[in-house]
Structure 1
């Protein structure tokens, strides 16, 4: 489900792209150190965004190290690592762990079960550090399964559960910024869930899997309605981001919030439009 909160490379300046890679590598290195080499494959763009956001808000240490990595053995990579990249790595592990559990329960994926078992010791160790976030994740898993079991077609029900989960994760500490960070997480969580549901609609329809968009996908204005619903969540993210006194990495964060989160959506819409044109041309040739 995760992986939609990324950058728009075409609109990102070189220095900001380098900066993004430094954070991405930092979270990746923290994952390796806490969970082992295999855990690095689980890194999501969403938690890289969280690391950049927290670092910008709290103005974390700007020190950059150069480290070698198994993926780039030829030369050292510039890396940013601090308490915010470490926190993002821990949250990444906890979310991915339960996502793998979900994949096994729902689809009986053997690879998901194997990865779940591999990450379990690191998850148990990490979860003890974050009782509030751990309880939020466990509550989310239980409530989401209940919604799916009832085949609840409410667009807001499951999306709201994901929103409340991400709200707890984005509230890094209890301070004057926790409310706004929580709201960013809330709308971002809803956006992620709904974007994933929109993206997986055809697959879920074929597999008779749960998807709240199935309740409206047959309507003539479905694509417009789906786009409007996603836009409302994106507007919520932007609204609360703009309330924060962020100057550090401001352009990088704006690239993600205002454009990057739509990259996969735009790509799929373009593909759908091209398929429609091809179909129409074939009909015209008959």
Structure 2
């Protein structure tokens, strides 16, 4: 359900793209240092956005370094890290763990069982470090699983579960910015859930999987309704974002929230149009 909160690279300045990649690589390196190569497998672009947002808001000291890695063994890559890189790494791990746990409990996937066993000891440390966030993440993922079991077709209920999950994740600490960050995360989470449901609809219908959009997918204005729902969610999200006094990396953050989050939707629409043209 992650991977939708990304940049639109052609619209970014070269220096901004390099900085974004440096934070992304910094998160990858942090995951390796904290949790080994298994931790690196949990890497997501979505947490890079969270790191950039919190860094811009709180303006901590940023550490820059050049390293080689398995992906870039020849040329050294610059990485940027700060206190939020560690936070992003921990949240990446906890989300991956509970996702794997649900895969094992609900679908008896062997990969889920092996993944939870491999990550369990590492996850215990994260839970002790961030009990508030971990408690809500676990609770909302259980609520989301319950929606699937009850075959809830009212989209707002499961989307709300993921919205509350993202809201808690965005609140690094309870302070003056808590309310705004929580609202931003809530609407971003709902956007992600709806986008994921829209993205997976074809596969879910074929395989008989749960998807709350199945109840309306046969309607004539289905695609337009989905676009309108997504527009409403990201509009609420960006309205909260603009309340924050973010100056550093503002062009990158706006690129993500106003353009990058639509990458997958544009791809789906291109494929749909191509399919319709071929069937004529």
Residue 61 of structure 1 is matched in structure 2 by 61
1:217 aligns with 2:200: no
Q: Distance in 2 between matches of 1:268 and 1:11?
A: 20
Q: Distance in 1 between matches of 2:269 and 2:115?
A: 32
1:238-260: CA deviation from partner (whole Å, max 9, x where unpaired): 10010001110000000000000
Partner of 2:66, secondary structure, is: strand
1:3-30: CA deviation from partner (whole Å, max 9, x where unpaired): 1000111111111110111100111111
1:20-42: CA deviation from partner (whole Å, max 9, x where unpaired): 11100111111111111121121
- Aligned-residue Cα RMSD (Å) equals 1.2
Q: Distance in 1 between matches of 2:81 and 2:182?
A: 23
**In the alignment, is the contact (CA less than 8 A) between 2:141 and 2:161 conserved in 1?**
no
Partner of 1:74, secondary structure, is: coil
Q: Distance in 2 between matches of 1:105 and 1:131?
A: 22
Cα shift at 1:199: 0.6
State the TM-score, normalized to the length of structure 2.
0.97
Q: Please, which runs of 5 or more residues in structure 2 have no aligned partner?
A: none
Residue 158 of structure 1 is matched in structure 2 by 158
Cα shift at 1:108: 3.5
Q: Please, which runs of 5 or more residues in structure 1 have no aligned partner?
A: 281-286
Q: Which residues in structure 2 correspond to 1:157-236 (within 5 Å)?
A: 157-236=157-236
Partner of 2:21, secondary structure, is: helix
**In the alignment, is the contact (CA less than 8 A) between 2:141 and 2:162 conserved in 1?**
no
State the TM-score, normalized to the length of structure 1.
0.95
Residue 264 of structure 1 is matched in structure 2 by 264
Residue 4 of structure 2 is matched in structure 1 by 4
Partner of 1:42, secondary structure, is: coil
1:192-234: CA deviation from partner (whole Å, max 9, x where unpaired): 1111111111111122211110111111110000110111111
Partner of 1:78, secondary structure, is: strand
Q: Distance in 2 between matches of 1:149 and 1:176?
A: 38
Cα shift at 1:114: 2.3
Cα shift at 1:125: 1.5
Residue 284 of structure 1 is matched in structure 2 by none
